[in-house]
Amino acid sequence: MLLVLCFVSVSFDISALIIDVSADYVIDLIYFKISTDF
């Protein structure tokens, strides 16, 4: 039971990290697009 909980928390951390990185990438892409439009 504890092992499952640990695995779930680790995979949750990994998915949160992936979401964070992709969100940063999208934001950078949007800023780049805005700055190149002007």
Tell me the two tokens of residue 10: 């680790």
pTM (2 d.p.)? 0.55
* pLDDT tens, residue by residue, 1-38: 788 888 889 999 999 999 999 999 999 999 999 888 76
Q: Which domain holds residue 35?
A: 14-38
Q: What is the distance between the alpha carbons of residues 22 and 34, in angstroms, rounded to a whole number?
A: 18
Tell whether 34 is covered by a domain: yes
Say what the pLDDT of residue 22 is: 95
Q: What is the distance between the alpha carbons of residues 25 and 7, in angstroms, rounded to a whole number?
A: 27
Tell me the two tokens of residue 32: 């780049």
**∠ at Cα 25 (32, 14), nearest 5°?**
175
Tell whether 38 is covered by a domain: yes
Tell whether 2 is covered by a domain: no
Q: Structurally, how many domains does the chain consist of?
A: 1
Query: What is the length of the chain?
Result: 38
Task: Please report, as a single letter, which amino acid is at residue 6.
Answer: C
